[in-house]
Structure 1
Amino acid sequence: MSNDAENIAEQMAALKIPLDRDLFMRTLIRELADVLQDVVGAEQASSFISVVGQLMGKRINEQYCKALDATSLSREQVAAVLVDLKKRIGGDFFIVAQDDEKIIFGSRSCPFEEKVVGQKAMCMMTSNVFGSIAAANLGYAKVHLQATLAEGQPECRVVVFLKMSDEADAVEGREYFKSAAG
């Protein structure tokens, strides 16, 4: 490489541009969600993101089960897995309460950070990953996004119902069922 090319490369590397792999990927996902929403509408965008979330949930569940040398996880393990996976990807999820009927999660930050604001369709990733993992292990889940950072709330509140009930029926959410294949 010539001296001019080296100088130019050094000049580029020294630029104060806020760009790294993480920011690039979060921005890419945000832009994809925006384009989907503009082209097919908010509801269809949520549906497309839901499909990706279900596939991600299946893969993540397989990884945790393999690492734990388990064919399925208990409720307590499912709750711990959902908190752990969010921590691993930069979220700040925590368990508010849990019993045999439901697990309630809170979160003070989203892995998508500021890119999620105004983009509720991106919350379908959490809904589907949580719902897919819970249903794969416990047979059923209904995920209710009670409050989200995407909507401008100060923190997320996600309720994962583990049984069909009047309380679960009374709220909006997506239902997930264990597939016949496991």
Structure 2
Amino acid sequence: MKLLAFAASSSSKSINKQLATYAASLVDGADVEILDINDYEMPIFSQDREEELGQPEQAQKFFAKIGEADAIIISFAEHNGSYTAAYKNLFDWTSRIDMKVFQNKPMVLLATSPGPGGASSVLAAAAGSAPYFAADVKASLSVPSFFDNFDMEKQQLRNPELQDKLKSALALL
């Protein structure tokens, strides 16, 4: 299985990237590719820019990466209850190539934050809208209080209940 994983965050210290990377490592036998959405940075989307630029190479490459994958893990950072601007912009540009951005790929959606909410607002929005963009969402999981539940030294969940939930979710891919 070719597994694509990434954080919907542009932070160089992204806890969501740590979570996505860890989750991907739990999928036995998977050929894992971890993307950094900073590699796909583009001007802020608008119809005017689209008329001027067409479909940027970064959006085309991102769409191709999704197409090459057998399954996808995304971990969402939450900015003011919603998507990060970096992810939303990448998604907007990519959706102009094809509204079926996720190309019917099986997906596990994750989210985490330092606080007890675990970025659950953005996770709910993502899980609710993803099927409209041809995502086969198999499961979603919020990890609250990241620094309490994730061992930074070992780079793994330390909470057994969350660990079991994550493994169950990944087994659906």
What TM-score comes out, normalization by structure 2 length?
A: 0.35
> More strand by proportion, 1 or 2?
2
